[in-house]
């Protein structure tokens, strides 16, 4: 078993690439649906990296809270607000970007330069997502009278965000493996 594991690293990195692709394709694809687009607004509205994509006339950190819907709930006034806010357009673009990075990750199996780029993009995207732990109040359990609230008590949204630390590490492993392949290729060319 130890022998098998010791000699399977390259195959496991390919499995890692496929896993990253599956997550990115699924999450990126869900960005085309209203419930997912509406769900990311607290993160986007509070982010210094993304908030400028929203319509400033209607989007502020207080206003989005008035237009939150439960997942699967359809409230026409909320939908109109999100349309004017640019929520759905932003989500479609973000979903396409995430899906695109996921596709690049898979192509990295065959093309190390694409693998290097996709690993760096995956790690970079994860850093932005992890920044939500600092910028988004909804990632922490609110003070509703109980003793367990604020830092370090992650809400459902916070638990979703913290998992991106794994995507960050996966991006670095993918980039490192691709860089190793590129160095091998260049050393063969110079011989």
Q: What is the pLDDT of residues 129-172, one digit of tens each?
A: 999 999 999 999 999 999 999 999 999 999 999 999 999 999 99
d(CA 172, CA 20): 12
For the chain, what percent of residues have pLDDT higher than 90?
77
Domain ranges (residues) in the chain: 10-190
pLDDT one-digit tens code per residue, 57-93: 655 545 788 888 888 899 999 999 999 889 999 999 9
Predicted TM-score (pTM) of the model is 0.89
CA separation, residue 154 to residues 35, 50, 94, 162, 164 (Å): 22, 22, 24, 9, 14
Band of pLDDT at residue 187, cut at 50, 70 and 90 = confident
Closest alpha carbon to 161 in 132, 125, 135: 132
Q: How many residues does the chain have?
A: 191
End-to-end CA distance of the chain: 36
What pLDDT, on a 0 to 100 scale, did the predictor assign at position 157? 92
The secondary structure of residue 83, as a DSSP letter, is H
């Amino acid at each position: 078993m130890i022998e098998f594991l010791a000699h399977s690293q390259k195959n496991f990195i390919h499995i890692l690439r496929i896993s990253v692709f599956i997550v990115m394709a699924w999450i990126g694809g869900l960005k085309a649906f209203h419930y997912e687009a509406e769900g990311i607004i607290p993160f986007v509205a509070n982010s210094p990296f993304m908030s400028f994509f929203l319509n400033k006339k209607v989007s502020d950190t207080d206003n989005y809270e008035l237009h939150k819907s439960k997942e699967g709930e359809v409230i026409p006034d909320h939908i109109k607000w999100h349309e004017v806010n640019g929520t759905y357009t932003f989500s479609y673009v973000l979903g396409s970007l995430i899906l695109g990075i996921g596709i690049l990750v898979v192509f990295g199996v065959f093309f190390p330069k694409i693998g290097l780029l996709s690993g760096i993009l995956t790690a970079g995207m994860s850093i932005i997502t992890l920044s939500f732990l600092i910028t988004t109040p909804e990632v922490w359990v609110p003070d509703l009278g109980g003793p367990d609230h604020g830092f370090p008590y992650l809400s459902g949204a916070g638990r979703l965000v913290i998992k991106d630390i794994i995507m960050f590490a996966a991006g670095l492993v993918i980039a490192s493996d691709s860089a190793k392949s590129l160095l091998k290729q260049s050393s063969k060319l110079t011989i």
